[in-house]
Amino acid sequence: MISSTEALERLRAGNARFVSGGQLMGSFANPERRGELTSGQEPFAIILGCSDSRVPAEIIFDFSLGHLFVIRVAGNIVAPSQIGSIEFAAEQFGTRLVVVMGHENCGAVAATLEELNRPTESQSPNLSAIVNRIRPAVESLTASGVEGAALLNQAVRANIRASMNQLRHGSEILESLIRDDGLLIVGAEYSLETGAVEFFDD
């Protein structure tokens, strides 16, 4: 089993490779690696990230098949299915690092701020379900006097922290693994401009 500390260092090193624009570790189309994984997997990190097409975790951390257990959903929100997926990976594979990764200019967070400013009457109930999970994390920020890009930046970070908090305190399994077994849940924010990932609360 890889410790949470070693897993975090692997992610940092992989992102540094990606940011540098140099030679990445290996091709995703690797028949040999695919063959190695037919009997099982041992991902060293769990990533809960946004569905945004510009933020594919495997690429920005420079790891291919079998290394990362990735869950992607708009706004990197936490719902029962995401919690269950994380519980499964942490218990089944012994993965001891969970990263909640948001990114700058997140469309789901921006849509939530827009909805708070100008509520719509005909929004899809499915889209509303996403907005309503982000809303509690960002609602208080709208009264702070901050606006525009600065408000969105603060809201993205607040939403990441809210998801981290839900994982840390919304699952008896994860709470037990944190308390007794070295599970670490950290936040991260990806820069669309630089490609760098900033980790926090680790």
Give me the pLDDT at residue 64, please: 86
28 pLDDT band, cuts 50/70/90, is low
> In the predicted model, is pLDDT for residue 138 greater than 80?
yes
Q: What is the pLDDT of residues 81-90, one digit of tens each?
A: 999 999 999 9
Residues 6, 18: Cα–Cα separation, whole Å: 19
In the β-sheet with 197-200, what is the strand arrangement from edge to edge? 68-72, 45-49, 97-103, 184-190, 197-200
Measured distance CA(105)–CA(4) in Å, rounded: 28
CATH topology classification for 4-18+42-200: Beta-carbonic Anhydrase; Chain A (3.40.1050)
pLDDT in tens, 103-119: 999 999 999 999 988 88
Least confident of 71-85, 123-137, 181-195: 123-137
Q: Is the pTM of this model over 0.75?
A: yes
Q: Are 186 and 97 in contact (CB under 8 A)?
A: yes
Whether residue 162 has pLDDT greater than 90: yes
Domain range summary for the chain, segments of one domain joined by +: 4-18+42-200
Name the more confident of 21 and 161. 161
The predicted pLDDT at position 135 comes to 94
